[in-house]
Amino acid sequence: MQVMTTDFLSLIGSRPRLEDAAPRIVEHPSDLIVSKGEPATLNCKAEGRPTPVVEWYKDGERVETDREDPRSHRMLLPSGSLFFLRIVHGRRSKPDEGVYVCVARNYLGEAVSRNASLEVAILRDDFRQTPSDVVVAAGEPAVMECIPPRGHPEPTISWKRNNVKVNDKDERITIRGGKLMISNTRKSDAGMYVCVGTNMVGEKDSDPAELVVFERPMFVRRPVNQVVLADDTVDFQCEVQGDPTPTIRWRKEEGELPRGRFEIRADNSLRLTQVKAEDEGSYTCLSENSVGKAEASGTLQVHVPPQIVVRPRDQISAQGRTVTFLCGTKGNPPPAVFWQKEGSQVLLFPSQPPSQSGRFSVSLSGELTITDVHSEDSGYYICQAISVAGSILTKALLEVETPSDRIPPIIRQGPANQTLVPGTSAQLQCHVMGNPLPSIQWERDGQRILGSDGRISLMENGTLQITALQETDSGAYTCVASSLSGETSWSGVLAVKESGGLSVPPVSEPYQLPGPPQKPVVTDVTRNSVTLTWQPNAHEGGAAVTSYIIEAFSQSAGSTWQTVADFVKLEKHTVTGLSPNTIYLFIVRALNAYGLSDPSPISEPVRTQDVSPTGQGVDHRQVQRELGEMAVQLHEPVLLTASSMKISWNVDRQSQYIQGYRLLYRPVGGSWSQQEVKAATERSAVIAKLLKGTEYEIKIRPYFNEFQGMDSRPLTFRTPEEVPSAPPLAVTVTTVKLSNSSSVSVSWQPPPTEMQNGVIQEYKVWCLGNDSQTRYHINQTVDGNVLTTLLKGLLPGVLYQVEVAAVTSAGVGTHSQPVSVIISDESDENVSLAEQISDVVKQPAFIAGIGGACWVILMGFSVWIYCRRKKRKELSHYTASFAYTPAVGFPHGECSGLNGRPGMLGANMGNYPWLADSWPTTNLVHNNVKDSVNCCTSKHDTPERYYNEAGISNYLSQNEKYSTDSNEGPIYSTIDPTSEDLHRFSAQYSQNTTPYPGTSNAQYAQPDRSKTDNVKQPKQKLMGKPVKMPSLNWMDALPPPPLSGELDECEEEDDDELIQDMRSDEEEWCPPLPDRSYLMDGVMEDGPAPPLRGEASSPTTSYSHQSTATLTPSPRDDGHCHDIPRLHHRLPCGPVAVPRAPSPPLAQSNPNLSANQECPDNTVPHRSAHKRDLSQGAAQSVENISNTTPGVFLFSI
């Protein structure tokens, strides 16, 4: 109340001032939560005039600060904020906690802030719930829970494991509220966990709780299946880990561990010693702990090497008898027993159909039986027992008492066809073998060769040698080898003739001939055919073997070897046309490009079958009845390779009327194929050349001659799939242009059916691209029934290789041949020239040429500078003269004189064409945009700018013309203000540019922008206002001064050089010679006219009475941009028209006005006239003007 009274009295006693203001809170205090004993600040800032006084209130009570009580822990800061040195807070007394407000007062009023609460943060010590120990098995979830202590603000919860914070980013770990949940626990999760409660007061840790993770037994090493030999030692490993440590024990399935021969070792492995066949079985390792159990097994196989318990004995037999060899074996697994004649490749197995016309057979017990013994059966017979455990063999001798064999001689190598030239020697070889050793005789064209001719001799090895060949020696030479057992012949043709420049093929060398094939083996015999197979020799000679020749011998057919088959391509052939019930011997020779090989070993004798029983009066009805009662059952096919199957069968009712079986097979839904088995006792066959990945249907049918039995029940089998062995066919690539990318369309056809090797599931398409630095690959996979695809996103200019391959379940097949495609760039045609130029520019020769040219230009320029300066020094000795023109004004402003000196032209005087262009200046400033010259900052288009307005009434005509052949002539230019494009003016003159009055109707020789010459040009709008002229009016004769800012690109190159030269010549400077002349009274020079834009220039141009005559250069001095002195102007680039007016008032040269003219694009600047005009042209112009032009006053300085 006292405060309010004081304020009221102050208001009554004093009058408020206008600049005073009531208090205003600009910063309000904010709520605070502070720990006990910590400093704190409640901010409050107020504005007003006079400065308000700030007071604080808590819960409505005024706060006592250090201003009232210096010992108070509350301080009132100058800004008005309330600062607490420390927060006082106890169980009973809480003096600092409450709601605060600040009040700002002055005599105009008071302002109250928003309420701000100050709370003291607390965190109790005791957790309301502490975590407890947890025990789980690995893989199971674990949950730990805690409730933090009470506190303000409410504490947050986190967890630590072994004093490391638990990372809840692990997807297995979730922290929600006070719970820690771990799913799929691992052994690594075990440890001591602590619950942490945190707020601004600090952290409180709970008592630790342990998480124990047990592991079920898990095998580190399992027992594996083992195969050992008898009496070996075997170890079964079993390593298990778990927590707690599991116990391990062993057992044998369906039996007991062998007593006295097993041991469980320290590493828990099981060892068996001196194993026997009865130890075979499955051994199991069992592991168990409190969490779970596990077991693993391994099998043991004990192999016993084969043993022969019954050995065969040697035997001697007469021809036609039956011989049996015994061979008893044992072993584990039971060994396979087979017989083999020593030196033969034929193996005889039990249950195998009888070989060699049914005379050899092996029983299931391993007995070998030979019926109808022949003399060739003599030899050692080997019984072999083999298994995975090893092998063993024994043998016995069979001797057959027979008369001596009568095999005719064999010619290993006979005479070869030869073509020789006269005078040379010929050797015709004939190498034979036989028992007894045969004799050799030679015949020519069927006539026996006698030894009367000394040029012919028979060598010891049977070779016939003929020396000094003559053409009469030509003929067919035959080698005849004969013995008591028969004879054999071999013929060859010898041709003797002049070569006539032809090359004679050399005789083949022995190493170029193929090696002899191996002994042919008989695989099938009928009444009139024998099927032979053989293996080729590894040595093919000088060329690949192309075919084989088969020779046969039979005593009943003759006493010589006969060729029964030639041009045989395969290593298997059936010789037909043989006689029934006849014994044959066969040899095989290999043929390559160099000749025939030596013969193979002679085959075993083979007897063709006798005539069929039907030919001997067999009852047909009986045959049909017995075949119809036969029951043949197929077994499940056995896969041999991906394209071959072994088919086996059995016969329930055997019949005597059976010759063999016909296997019929086909792809499901296809046509039947047939394979004959021509042995009645055969019970298996191999079907080869099957399509891979194809389902087949098969059945078997017995037959006897033309009679057939019942078909067996069909079976189906499927050959395994393999990758396709052929690529897709007809791969084509077509470029497709899309709106947003370059693409190609790839199409193909499936591989051949027989080479697909299964069902084509998909096709893979590769598009491989390479350039010099980068590789671009685009791959696609399409379904198997899709035969085309579109590849997008190809880059132009990159060479791509496209390949296609078919895919089966076995994998990716053969790739097609790469198809190249390149996407052409549409801009190639536009930039091809630029690319060619770029390639040329990059060539070292071009770079060297450019360097040389630059050097030559630099040297020429240096010479030009030297000559120019030298001529200037010579000209400095002349008396300088210039044309006097009255009323020449200078700008009133800055830089009016050269370097501030009075009476001299500054750089801005370049706008006045009547002053000498070579006037020196040192205050030229180059603009960065164009080489324009600026000196002064004053405006040019102001009333302070003066023009040359002195009138020239008349000039006399020149008394002499310049010679058209002279290279020295004055430089002329045409004054044509109407041809200057206003938009070409520089910015500093574009706003206030005005031509002289009275020139708007004048017609000048200007470039024509219209289609024809007689089209009226639109009048240009003149900018600015006219300048008041003196009484002496020159405007009828002179155009306005040009704009110094308009500089042409033709001068940009050498401005710097000129300025430097001008500066260097300051000391030698003298008033320049004028470089312009005036042509009067119609006397003119012939010269080219300026070109019109868009049209050819007219040879003549009409002018009004006010037009000025055009000054033209010499005809040989073409008006090029650089054919003038290097000043800040240029002449028109084209020829200038010559007016035909009778008496033009004036023609004045103004180089600056030509600054806006354009050069044609193909104009090449010339520099030669530049140097000439500075010296000779200028001097001659002065002389001509002074001599021929009255009214021009010459002053000498």
Over the stretch 581-617, which tens digit does the pLDDT of each residue have?
788 899 999 999 888 999 999 998 888 876 554 444 4
- Which pairing describes strands 151-152 and 53-58: parallel, antiparallel, or unpaired? unpaired
pLDDT category at 1196 given cuts 50, 70, 90 is very low
CATH of domain 410-607: 2.60.40.10
Reported as type and span, the H/E element at residue 574 is strand 572-576
Tell me which range, 418-422, 940-944, 966-970, 973-977, is most confidently predicted by mean pLDDT.
418-422
pLDDT at 876 over 70: no
The C-alpha R_g of the chain, in whole angstroms, comes to 62
For the segment 434-445, what is each residue's pLDDT rounded down to a tens digit? 887 888 899 989
What per-residue confidence (pLDDT) applies to 877? 53
CATH of domain 125-213: 2.60.40.10
Average pLDDT score over the chain:
73
The answer to which of 282-296, 816-830, 1038-1052 has the lowest mean pLDDT is 1038-1052
Residue of 597, 655, 594 whose CA lies nearest to 629: 655
Considering the chain, what percentage of its residues have pLDDT values greater than 90?
Answer: 27
Asked whether residue 997 carries a pLDDT value surpassing 90, the answer given is no
Q: Name which of 130, 177, 131 is nearest 155 in CA terms.
A: 177
- Higher pLDDT: 554 or 1126? It is 554
Residue 738's pLDDT is: 67
Q: Which of 58-62, 325-329, 1059-1063 has the least mean pLDDT?
A: 1059-1063
What pLDDT sits at residue 507? 67
What stretches of 355-414 adopt beta strand conformation (E)?
360-362, 368-370, 379-387, 390-401, 410-413
Cα(741)–Cα(763) distance, integer angstroms: 24
Asked if 148 and 128 touch (Cβ cutoff 8 Å), the reply is yes
Structure confidence at residue 1174 (pLDDT): 34
Residue 239 has pLDDT above 80, yes or no: yes
Q: Which long-range contacts (CB under 8 A, 24 or more apart) does 150-153 make?
A: 150/122, 150/124, 151/121, 151/122, 151/123, 151/124, 151/197, 151/199, 151/201, 152/33, 152/119, 152/120, 152/121, 152/122, 152/199, 153/33, 153/121, 153/199, 153/200
Q: State the Cα–Cα distance between residues 1118 and 1129, nearest whole angstrom.
A: 17
What angle is formed at CA 584 by the lines to CA 581 and CA 587, rounded to 5 degrees? Answer: 160
| Contact criterion met (CB below 8 Å) for 257 and 180 | no
Return the pLDDT at 113: 92
Q: How confident is the model at residue 520 (pLDDT cuts 50, 70, 90)?
A: very high
In the prediction, which pLDDT does 152 show?
86
- Rounded-to-10 torsion of CA 358, 364, 365, 366: 50
pLDDT bucket at 495, cuts 50 / 70 / 90:
very high
pLDDT tens digits along 135-194: 988 888 999 999 999 888 889 899 999 999 988 788 898 888 889 999 989 888 999 999
CA distance 534 to 550: 11
Which one of 60-69, 397-406, 857-866 scores highest in mean pLDDT?
857-866
Q: What is the distance, to the nearest Å, from the Cα of residue 992 to the centroid of all Cα atoms in its chain? A: 66
Sign of CA dihedral 185, 187, 189, 190: positive
Q: Which CATH architecture has domain 613-665+683-718?
A: Sandwich (2.60)
Segment 359-393, tens digit of pLDDT: 888 888 889 999 988 888 888 999 999 988 888 88
Percent of residues, the chain, with pLDDT higher than 70: 67
pLDDT band at residue 832 using 50, 70 and 90 as cut-offs: low
Q: Which two tokens mark 281?
A: 């079985």
- pLDDT, tens digit, for every residue of 554-577? 877 777 888 999 999 999 999 998
Residue 533 predicted with pLDDT over 50: yes
Cα(85)–Cα(75) distance, rounded to whole angstroms? Answer: 8
1145 close to 1080: Cβ distance less than 8 angstroms: no
**pLDDT beyond 70 at 1114:** no
Asked if 658 and 704 touch (Cβ cutoff 8 Å), the reply is: yes
Q: What's residue 14's pLDDT?
A: 53
Using alpha carbons, select from 791, 708, 718 the residue that is nearest to residue 748. Answer: 791
Q: Taking Cα atoms as reference points, which of 802, 797, 740 lies closest to residue 773?
A: 797
Highest-confidence segment of 572-586, 869-883, 942-956, 1079-1093: 572-586
In 3-state terms, what secondary structure has residue 270? strand
Task: Report whether pLDDT(776) > 70.
Answer: no
Burial class of residue 442 (count of CB atoms within 10 Å of its CB; 0-12, 13-18, 19+): buried
- CA-angle at 323, arms to 322 and 324, nearest 5°: 130
Residue showing tokens 């200028």 = 1178
Identify whether the C-beta of residue 208 lies closer than 8 Å to the C-beta of residue 217: no
pLDDT, position 1036: 46
pLDDT tens digits, one per residue of 90-134: 878 888 889 999 999 998 899 999 999 988 888 888 898 999 999
User: Do β-strands 40-42 and 53-58 pair in parallel, antiparallel, or remain unpaired?
Assistant: unpaired
- Is the pLDDT at 339 greater than 80? The verdict is yes
CATH entry, 729-826, from 2.60.40.10, 3.40.1190.20, 2.40.10.120, 3.40.718.10: 2.60.40.10
- Shortest CA distance to 969 belongs to which of 1150, 1072, 1116? 1116
Confirm if 1114 and 956 have CB atoms less than 8 A apart: no
Query: In 59-155, which ranges are E strands?
Result: 61-62, 74-76, 82-84, 98-106, 109-112, 116-123, 134-137, 142-145, 151-152
The interaxial angle of helices 844-875 and 1055-1064, nearest 10 deg, is: 30
* pTM beyond 0.75, yes or no: no
Start and end residues for every CATH 2.60.40.10 domain found in the chain: 2-122, 125-213, 222-302, 311-401, 410-607, 613-665+683-718, 729-826
CATH architecture of 311-401: Sandwich (2.60)
Query: Could you confirm whether domain 2-122 is CATH 3.40.640.10?
Result: no
Residue scoring higher pLDDT (289 or 1156): 289
In contact, 1125 and 917? CB cutoff 8 Å: yes
pLDDT at 405: 54
Task: Please state which CATH class domain 222-302 belongs to.
Answer: mainly beta
Q: What order of strands is seen across the sheet that includes strand 360-362?
A: 323-325, 368-370, 360-362
Q: In this model, does residue 1041 exceed pLDDT 80?
A: no
- pLDDT reported for residue 588: 95
- Provide the pLDDT for residue 514: 92
